Amino acid sequence: MLELWDVSRVFENGNTAFREITFTAQKGEIIGVLGTSGCGKSSLLRVIAGLDQASTGRLVLNGSEGEEISKKVGVIFQEPRLMPWLSVIENVAFGLKGREAEKKEKASRFIKLVGLEGFENHYPRQLSGGMAQRVAIARSLVTRPEILLLDEPFSALDAFTKMQLQDLLLKVWEDCGSTMIMVTHDIDEALYLCDRLLVMRGQPGVLSCVVDITQLRPRTRGNAELARQKQQILDILDITGKAG
């Protein structure tokens, strides 16, 4: 579905974020992108989203290249980035086209899907951090993107809220079937959510290896097999002690 062939990103000042990244993503797959700080994970996501241009290589989504790809991609950032002057339902419906009643009907369905039914007329200032991120998830999915990109979407949340939203993400994924590519520093999160992990290393970043998650869903946190794979990833990254 999504193909990257020898994709690199070089900035105007000559610095290289990452180089010669090649991988494919299948329809409905959840892929995690792991790596130490500064190895180009978020820059890679920006290139896939069309927010930045690749310096070299090819990026293909279902046969489309260039600007056609960005129309098929949704993005969830670390912060919800809601428009404070719009209500929840107006934020979710903002990117939709068509009659107002139709847009609100579609937005309402996704608000219910993320567990915010009854909060349609609330404003961002009236929401907790977790609730605001649920709105961001609904807004990104309401246009039915073929690819959903997530840039550390739960990193600013407390541990309990993070686990709730991880489970919500899997529920939404089952309903929508979008392919997801998620940047995270949290190895436990990646092992719980993803089908495969792209492990990046270095500055500029390169794709060090691909780790297949062998445990079937639904997974349990603290599973022995996941713990074994966590240690494998720590060894690849040359990290000892606690993951983060």
Is the pLDDT reported for residue 198 higher than 70? yes
> What CATH number does the domain located at 2-72+146-236 have?
3.40.50.300
150-170 burial, b for 16+ CB within 10 Å, e for fewer? bbbbbeebeeebbbbbbebbb
pLDDT tens track for 120-157: 999 999 999 999 999 999 999 998 898 999 999 999 89
Distance between CA atoms of residues 98 and 106, nearest Å = 11
Side-by-side strand order, sheet with 73-76: 73-76, 147-151, 179-183, 30-35, 196-201, 206-212
Average pLDDT for the chain = 91
pLDDT tens track for 68-78: 667 789 999 99
User: What residues does each domain of the chain span?
Assistant: 2-72+146-236, 84-144
In this prediction, residue 98 carries a pLDDT of 87
pLDDT tens track for 199-227: 999 999 999 999 999 899 889 988 999 99
Confidence (pTM): 0.91
Is the pLDDT reported for residue 166 higher than 70? yes
Distance between CA atoms of residues 58 and 29, nearest Å = 20
> How are beta strands 30-35 and 179-183 bridged, if at all?
parallel
In this prediction, residue 222 carries a pLDDT of 84
